[in-house]
């Protein structure tokens, strides 16, 4: 008997596109799974649908959408070992990229059909699910500027344009205090604080440390505090490099630490973006939940 799978899908902006994508997903997955399809709406979240799926005995849960949809659906699966499939349909798709899942719909379905899974860490940020990262300051302001119209028109370039604008306009620095289970750091003139569970190289501000790994039971914290545009540009250059070579950034204005439990306060309060969506303002408290999500990944991404 075929396995019971719940597909949670965030509709695309064009209905025809959604219909076409759903047809392709059904054609790929239905020979293998008994597939039930549910659409998210502004009122019914991927999290609610995923909880419903778990209660109904789903043997596999699949989220098709952007990082917000994937993160919300993942929350219901934390600690369940129910295999979780990701079909990237958003703008950035950072979690899928981190896991090595292609944006090509058929290739993403093939990964689910191959049934190879890996346990990864997740985290809770002020009680909300986090598979990727929480960004305070620069990143949150960038996401705020890249509205849905810009994302529909320019795709991922919308984030780059919004980031460049932020950078050019200059950021108001803020004071931050980061407390972990073993240490406390206080930085006077921070412009961005990033706490990452997982992060592809494109999530540049997360890469102060020696690699961001979603299976080490730890969160990676990067705080940047450049005092000028030039210092900011140098820091960015080193962070981009570190995203690819996993060497920690060695600069006075890039601070990094690792911990399982983190509390962050800022003065004044700063906007926070959680897994690609704005969630409110600081203070935040984040707890890593080691090996808590069982995701389908390509076989060659095991290490």
Ligand X SMILES: Nc1ncnc2c1ncn2[C@@H]1O[C@H](COP(=O)(O)OP(=O)(O)OP(=O)(O)O)[C@@H](O)[C@H]1O
The site for ligand X (CB under 6 A) is made up of 10-11, 40-42, 45, 65-69, 90-92, 151, 276-277
Residue at shortest CB range from ligand X:
66
Q: CA-CA distance, 70 to 212, in Å (whole number)?
A: 19
Decide whether 143 or 223 has the Cβ nearer to ligand X: 143
Contact between 224 and 235 under an 8 Å Cβ cutoff? The reply is yes
Decide whether 159 or 174 has the Cβ nearer to ligand X: 159
Q: How far is the CB of 70 from ligand X (least distance, A)?
A: 7
CA 212 to each of CA 65, 176, 266: distance values in angstroms, whole numbers, following the listed order: 23, 22, 24
First to last CA, the chain: 32
Task: Name 224's Cβ contacts closer than 8 Å, sequence gap at least 6.
Answer: 138, 190, 191, 192, 205, 208, 232, 235, 239, 253, 254, 255
Q: How many residues does the chain have?
A: 303
Decide whether 42 or 57 has the Cβ nearer to ligand X: 42
Q: How far is the CB of 23 from ligand X (least distance, A)?
A: 18
Q: How far is the CB of 40 from ligand X (least distance, A)?
A: 4
Q: How far is the CB of 2 from ligand X (least distance, A)?
A: 27
Decide whether 124 or 156 has the Cβ nearer to ligand X: 156
The sign of the dihedral angle between the CA atoms of 49, 54, 59, 63 is positive
Decide whether 151 or 238 has the Cβ nearer to ligand X: 151
Coil, helix or strand at residue 79: coil
Q: How far is the CB of 49 from ligand X (least distance, A)?
A: 10
Decide whether 163 or 232 has the Cβ nearer to ligand X: 163
Tokens 């379905």 locate to 109
Decide whether 194 or 266 has the Cβ nearer to ligand X: 194
Q: Which of 42, 90, 81, 51 is nearest to 275 (CA)?
A: 90
Q: How far is the CB of 74 from ligand X (least distance, A)?
A: 12
Q: CA-CA distance, 279 to 287, in Å (whole number)?
A: 16
| DSSP tag of 189 | E
Q: How far is the CB of 134 from ligand X (least distance, A)?
A: 15
Contact between 24 and 105 under an 8 Å Cβ cutoff? The reply is yes
Q: How far is the CB of 277 from ligand X (least distance, A)?
A: 5
Decide whether 64 or 223 has the Cβ nearer to ligand X: 64
Q: CA-CA distance, 299 to 296, in Å (whole number)?
A: 9
Neighbours of 58 (CB within 10 A): 23
């Amino acid at each position: 008997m075929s396995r019971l799978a719940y597909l949670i899908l965030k509709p695309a902006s064009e209905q025809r596109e959604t219909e076409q994508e759903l047809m392709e997903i059904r054609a790929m997955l239905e020979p293998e799974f008994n597939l039930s399809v549910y659409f998210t709406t502004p009122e019914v979240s991927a999290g609610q649908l995923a909880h419903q799926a778990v209660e109904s005995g789903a043997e596999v849960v699949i989220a098709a959408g952007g990082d917000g949809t994937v993160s919300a659906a993942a929350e219901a699966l934390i600690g369940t070992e129910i295999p979780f499939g990701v079909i990237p349909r958003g703008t950035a798709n950072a979690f899928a990229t981190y896991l090595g899942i292609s944006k090509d719909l058929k290739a993403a379905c093939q990964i689910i059909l191959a049934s190879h899974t890996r346990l990864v860490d997740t985290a809770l940020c002020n009680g909300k699910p986090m598979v990727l990262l929480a960004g305070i300051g620069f990143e949150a302001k960038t996401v705020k500027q890249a509205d849905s119209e810009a994302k529909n028109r320019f795709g991922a370039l919308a984030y780059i344009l919004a980031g460049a604008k932020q950078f050019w306009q200059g950021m108001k620095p803020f004071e931050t205090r980061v407390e972990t289970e073993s240490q406390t750091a206080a930085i006077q003139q921070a412009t961005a604080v990033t706490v990452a569970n997982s992060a592809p190289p494109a999530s540049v501000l997360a890469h102060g440390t020696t690699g961001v790994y979603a299976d080490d039971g730890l969160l990676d914290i990067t705080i940047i505090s450049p005092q000028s545009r030039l210092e900011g540009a140098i820091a960015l250059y080193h962070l981009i490099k570190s995203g690819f070579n996993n060497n920690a950034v060695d600069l006075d204005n890039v601070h990094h630490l690792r911990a399982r439990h983190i509390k962050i306060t800022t003065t004044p309060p700063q906007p926070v973006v959680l897994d690609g969506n704005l969630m409110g303002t600081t203070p935040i408290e984040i707890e890593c939940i080691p090996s808590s999500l069982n995701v389908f990944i390509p076989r060659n991404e095991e290490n």
